[in-house]
Every structure is written in structure tokens, then in C-alpha cells.
Amino acid sequence: MVAGGTHAQILSFAGYLPEKEILTESFAKLGDLPASIEFKRLTGINAHREAAEDEGSLELALKAGQKALERCGIPREEIDLVISCSVSQLSPELHQHISPSFATSIAEHLGIYGAQTFDVANACSSMMTSLMIAEAKIKAGKIRHALIVSGEHITSLIDEAKSKNLWLHSKAIASMTVGDGAAAYVVGPSKDAKRMTFSEPFTFAQYNNHCIGEASRERPGPRMRTKAKQLQLGVLDNLSEFLQRSMKHMELEWSSIDHVYSHPTTPKAVKKGAKIAEDSVGSIKFLHNDSKDIGNTASTSHGVLLEMSREAGHLKEDDTAILVSFGSGLAMLALHFHLPKGVEGWS
Amino acid sequence: MVVMRSWKASPLGKGRLLKTSVNLATSAMEEASIDLNDIALIVHSGIYRQHFRTEPAFATHLQGALNIKCTTLTQESSHCFAFDVSDGSCSAHVALDAIADLLPQFNGKYAILCVGDERPNKQTEWPHTPHCFVAILALEGNGPRLERVSFDETKAVPERVIASHFDTNKKANVSIEYGEYQPQPVHETELEFSGHQNWLSGEHMHAFHQRLDGKTDAFTHRIVDRTGKTTSAHWER
């Protein structure tokens, strides 16, 4: 038990993308998909990254985790909690990790000993859910610092989808929007209650069968079946009310938020959501809709996009950002935070 | 910390986890006279799911099956949040602790804790006796009070891993346990209970709460998982 009565803040974040780029045209050119679907035009995704042969979810997570720890400078012995929120948990050979928590392996590889470790599963909202749990534990005085980390090795979903007759298995088509990536955040105490605030979190379980990920029954690795249009409608139908309620709950003015990041199911979907947001809560200062060359990297998506923004020189310390998260289930929640000290100088 | 207002447990038998969870949750809420609309949080813990499912969270299926606040958002509507946590057999204590941390921040009064696993598919050889445990937790009221959950990972051997892979002969994913060890047996005194190291978390919770009935003093439930990780939930009446 550490001193309670404190608040929380994000001390560092990191995103990692594998080097290998796969163009959408190489696996979903016009004529590859049923009903003349122009996949690239429909989604706005030009490419994604694919993990190297020796990279699985663990190896990806370690790269982001290591970088996040270096950036905040917190010694390993002061990390009291490690949460892994990877949906995939796949080795390079596509073996799925089950027990103990994936976070146990990550902590061991990063040299974090004695910390509590566990996994959170909430689809693409797992990262935001984990950050919310870490924030609550810091506020309760149970921990000093937490590492929240995820590596998503999910591009085998594309191979699985391509192995099917997509005329008969149209729900597999959404699997072709994904990309591999990793992200991590270090969360620590703050005296300022406004450094990190969450929206009310919602699960609209009426959509809980619209995206199912599980082991393939025919080949190594996972498969995903998605009612993409209906799921997107579920998000869009609730988005306006969600943003209005969130601003009220977090005591924020939308116009004061410097950077907006939405979970990037596709760049086209984010554009649709942004239109609803602008009609509902006002114009967006800076929408970071930058997933056209990386695809949807699941739980890591916001961290990866933050890293890209940082590399492009768009982020300054104490700027504010909101991360809006959607995950199958359907989970919706948002995190508003101040960018960490020294973010401009990170390498 | 939280109070356990009511709880129900059952072996899974040949039934599915979702159906059993729904029945137990319904029964637990009826017993405590709790309305579905007062549930703000659902957390499931376990490691084995049907066909090694990874998304969405099992808790969202429980929410949907119980039809808890499955409505479109308005400025006044009341809603619920659902997710899963896991850490081997210690998953149940991780979930309890997460509920204790989060429930004070939620507008609703109650949380559902659901603990349980199910055989992923018929091709997986599975030596476990699956149990399902469901509890209704609140910030106040009558019932055993969770004082704290403590964690000890200093004796953990992370190489004792369970993973699944595609078996080309069986044409299905199957799970495999790696790493040898001598499982600790059941340990029980007047003040604490620790189940068998090979149990899944549902069986741990089922066995513990059978012993909790009738207790009038502080009581500790310890879970040691197959890696040697230990969690202890300290309860008071």
C-alpha cells in the first residue's frame, strides 16, 4: 500500500510498428473480393505493417514497453503493476498464450520483478479499460506506477480471410483491415486531478455478436467474423450522445482539446465519426486520422497513432488529447489527458 | 472495499458456461432482491473459452443474455460496463480487486463477478472439473466484506505456461500445459483456506465460499496457481 489520496497521469507512451509494409493492392485488389468491392476505396487503407518472422505479440509488446519505460525514466522496481491488453497473444508460430497472464511474461522479459501482473480483455477497448483500472489503483493508493502494454500480432487474420471463399464468408472481409503493432503507457501519480480523466464507460451488449474473434477451426491462428456495417452503425448511432455525455462527465469543453484520436477501424469510418462529432460538440482542432498506411492495430491503435504524431512533430508537452475507443462488445469509452513532460524531446 | 451481497456456484457439468452464469446471476440477484437496472459493472474471469475465443469479452455476453441496459444512449439513460480479466487460477481475485477499485467511480450500486471456464472444444484433452461462480458485489450492505486482496509473485515460475496450438492431426486448436511441478494440496485451517494448485479459478471460488457460509470471523482465501503465483483475499464478516 502506498500513499493514497492522489490522482494519476500518463508519464510516457510509446508505439511500435514493424518495418515490413504490405500494400492493400497485394491482397485485395479490384476483382479479389466479391461484388466488385473496391476494398482500398471503401476503407481508405493503402497498406499495413506485418511483424517479422521472429516477432509475435510478446516481442512486439516488449519493444513498445521498453521504449515507454526509457522515456519516463521510472526505475523498474517502482513499477508495481503490469497489465497486458493484447487481444492476440500469439507467438510467431501462431500459438496462443493462455496462462499465466501474458503480462507475467512481459514483466519478466522487461526485468520488472515483484509487480502484480494480469491481463485485461475487452477487444479493441482493452487498452483504455486497462488504463482506467491502473488509474483507479493509483487513486486508491495501491500502486505507484503501472505499465500498460500490448503487442498485436493479428495479420494472420488476413491470410485466414483470404483462404475462404469470400462470397460465402463475407463476414471475414473486415479481417483484411488489420495491421500489426504495439503500444505502451506508463501511468503514475499526480497532484493534479485533471491530468487524466475518463468518460463514463459503456457496453452496448446488444451488439455483442457483431465481431467474434476465436481460433480458426481449419488452420493455425485466429479468425474473426464481423458484421461490419451493423457494428459501425452501433457506434455512429451512439456517438453524438456519447461525446456530449463525456464532455459533461469530464467537465471539458470540446473546443479546448488539442488532439483527437479515434479508434481507427478504417480511415473512412473515422471520417464519418468526425462529421457526427463536429455536428454534435463542435469543430475538431486536430483529428489524427492517420491509419491509411497501418490499418487497424486493435488495442494498440491510439498508442501507435500518438507515436506517429510525435514523430511528425505535432505534439507538445501539456497539450491535451482525447482518445476515443470502440471495441467489439460494443464497448465505448474515452480518455482525456495532458501530454507528458518532455514529449517533444523523446527519441 | 466491497461487500458480497449474495453468491451462487455450481459445477458446469455438460452445460455451457453462459447458460450456467445467467442462471446463477439471476438466482443471486433474486436472493438479494437486486434489480437488474442497478448493475453498473460486470467482470468475468477465467482462462478457457469456447473455441479459444478472444473477443468480445465474455462479460459482454453475460450482460447481453441478462439484457442489462442494452439500449441506445441518451443524456439520461443508465448503462453498464463489462470486461474480462485473467491471470491463471488467480483470475478471480484479480477481478474482485478490479471491482473494488472501479465500483466507487460508477453510478450504479452493484457489480456482477462471474468466474468460470469451459472446455474450449472436444478435441482438447481437459482434465479439469469446471465450476461457475457468480457474486453480486456492492459498496455497502450485509455480507462478507472484502478487506483487501494481496498479491505475491516472488515465487512464480513463468515457464509453466499453458498455450494452444493447431493440431494438424485433430484439425483443431488444442491446449497444452508446459512445465513440470508438484501441485500443492488443499490446505485448510479455521482462519484460511487454500485450494488445490491444479484447480481452475471457478473451483477455487466454489470451494472457498462453501467454507465461508457460517463463518463469523475474518477469513483468508488463498489461491496458488500452477506457476506458484499467490493471491490472498482477506474477508471479514
Tell me: pLDDT of A169 over 90: no
Query: A102-111, B100-109, B120-129, B168-177: which has the highest mean pLDDT?
Result: A102-111
pLDDT of residue A168: 80
pLDDT of residue A242: 98
Indicate the residue of A87, A95, A206 with minimum beta-carbon distance to B165: A95
d(CA A71, CA A68): 5
Indicate the residue of A104, A201, A217 with minimum beta-carbon distance to B81: A201
Indicate the residue of A88, A123, A216 with minimum beta-carbon distance to B56: A123
Which residues of chain A are in CATH 3.40.47.10 domains?
A: 7-190, 196-345
Residues in B closer than 8 angstroms to A209, CB to CB, are: 64
Say if the Cβ atoms of B83 and A213 lie within 8 Å: no
**Cβ of B51 under 8 Å from any chain A Cβ?**
yes
Q: Which whole number is the average pLDDT over B16-24?
A: 96
The minimum CA-CA distance between A307 and chain B, rounded to whole Å, is 26
Residues B35 and B69 in one domain: yes
Residue type, A347: S
Please say which residue of B144, B168, B188 terminates a domain. B144
pLDDT of residue B144: 94
pLDDT of residue A32: 78
pLDDT of residue A51: 98
Model confidence band, residue A166 (pLDDT cutoffs 50, 70, 90): confident
Residues B105 and B22 in one domain: yes
Q: Which whole number is the average pLDDT over A110-139?
A: 97
d(CA A309, CA B191): 55
pLDDT of residue B136: 98
Tell me: pLDDT of B195 over 90: yes
d(CA A24, CA A293): 9
Please say which residue of B144, B168, B192 terminates a domain. B144
Say if the Cβ atoms of A202 and B60 lie within 8 Å: no
Residues B118 and B160 in one domain: no
Model confidence band, residue B24 (pLDDT cutoffs 50, 70, 90): very high
- The SS3 of residue B235 is strand
Tell me: pLDDT of B34 over 70: yes
Residues B15 and B67 in one domain: yes
Size of interface A-B (CB pairs under 8 A): 212
Residues B154 and B127 in one domain: no
Indicate the residue of A114, A241, A329 with minimum beta-carbon distance to B57: A329
Q: Which whole number is the average pLDDT over A142-166?
A: 95
Model confidence band, residue A2 (pLDDT cutoffs 50, 70, 90): low
Indicate the residue of B79, B86, B94 with minimum beta-carbon distance to A202: B79
Residues B206 and B190 in one domain: yes
Residues B139 and B153 in one domain: no
Q: Searching chain A, which residue's CA lies closest to the CA of residue B150?
A: A116
Percent of chain A with pLDDT over 70: 99
**Cβ of B54 under 8 Å from any chain A Cβ?**
yes
Residues B156 and B139 in one domain: no
Residues in B closer than 8 angstroms to A330, CB to CB, are: 56, 60
Model confidence band, residue A309 (pLDDT cutoffs 50, 70, 90): very high
pLDDT digits 0-9 by tens, A146-156? 999 999 999 99
Model confidence band, residue A5 (pLDDT cutoffs 50, 70, 90): low
Q: Which whole number is the average pLDDT over B210-215?
A: 82
* DSSP summary character for residue B100: H
pLDDT digits 0-9 by tens, A233-261? 999 999 999 999 999 999 999 999 999 99
pLDDT digits 0-9 by tens, A49-58? 999 999 999 9
The minimum CA-CA distance between B234 and chain A, rounded to whole Å, is 15
pLDDT digits 0-9 by tens, B126-176? 889 899 999 999 999 999 999 999 999 888 888 899 999 999 999 999 999
Residues in A closer than 8 angstroms to B102, CB to CB, are: 132-133, 136
**Cβ of B102 under 8 Å from any chain A Cβ?**
yes
Indicate the residue of B52, B81, B87 with minimum beta-carbon distance to A119: B87
Which CATH number is A196-345 given? 3.40.47.10
pLDDT of residue A98: 96
Please, is B72 exposed, middle or buried when counting C-beta atoms within 10 Å of its C-beta (0-12, 13-18, 19+)? Answer: exposed
List the domain range (segments joined by +) for residue B56.
2-144
The minimum CA-CA distance between B191 and chain A, rounded to whole Å, is 23
Model confidence band, residue A180 (pLDDT cutoffs 50, 70, 90): very high
- Out of A28-32, A336-340, B150-154, which region has the weakest mean confidence (pLDDT)? A28-32
Residue type, A340: P
Strands B131-138 and B110-116: antiparallel
Residues in B closer than 8 angstroms to A101, CB to CB, are: 86-88
Domain count, chain B: 2
Tell me: pLDDT of B216 over 80: no
Model confidence band, residue A17 (pLDDT cutoffs 50, 70, 90): very high
Say if the Cβ atoms of B101 and A140 lie within 8 Å: yes
Say if the Cβ atoms of A99 and B98 lie within 8 Å: no
Say if the Cβ atoms of A121 and B61 lie within 8 Å: no
Indicate the residue of B73, B86, B98 with minimum beta-carbon distance to A133: B98
Q: Which whole number is the average pLDDT over A118-132?
A: 98
pLDDT of residue B214: 75
Tell me: pLDDT of A1 over 70: no
**Cβ of B93 under 8 Å from any chain A Cβ?**
no
Tell me: pLDDT of A38 over 90: no
Residues B166 and B52 in one domain: no
pLDDT of residue A56: 98
d(CA A259, CA A285): 7
Q: Which whole number is the average pLDDT over A264-290?
A: 97
Restricting to B residues 108-167, those with a Cβ less than 8 Å away from any Cβ of A are 120, 151, 153-154, 156, 158, 160-166
Residues B136 and B208 in one domain: no
Residues B45 and B127 in one domain: yes
The three cell numbers locating residue A229: 456495417
Q: Searching chain A, which residue's CA lies closest to the CA of residue B159?
A: A105
pLDDT of residue A183: 98
Cβ pair A97, A105 in contact under 8 A: yes
Q: Which whole number is the average pLDDT over B49-74?
A: 96
Residues B128 and B172 in one domain: no
pLDDT of residue B9: 95
Which CATH number is A7-190 given? 3.40.47.10
d(CA A194, CA A61): 28
Model confidence band, residue A121 (pLDDT cutoffs 50, 70, 90): very high
Peptide bond into A340 cis (omega under 30): no
Q: Which whole number is the average pLDDT over B21-29?
A: 97
Residue type, A30: L
Tell me: pLDDT of A4 over 60: no
Helix (H) or strand (E) holding B113, with range, is: strand B110-116
Please say which residue of B113, B144, B175 terminates a domain. B144
Write the CATH number for B98. 3.40.47.10
- The upper half-sphere exposure of residue B10, i.e. CA atoms within 13 Å in the direction of its Cβ, equals 18
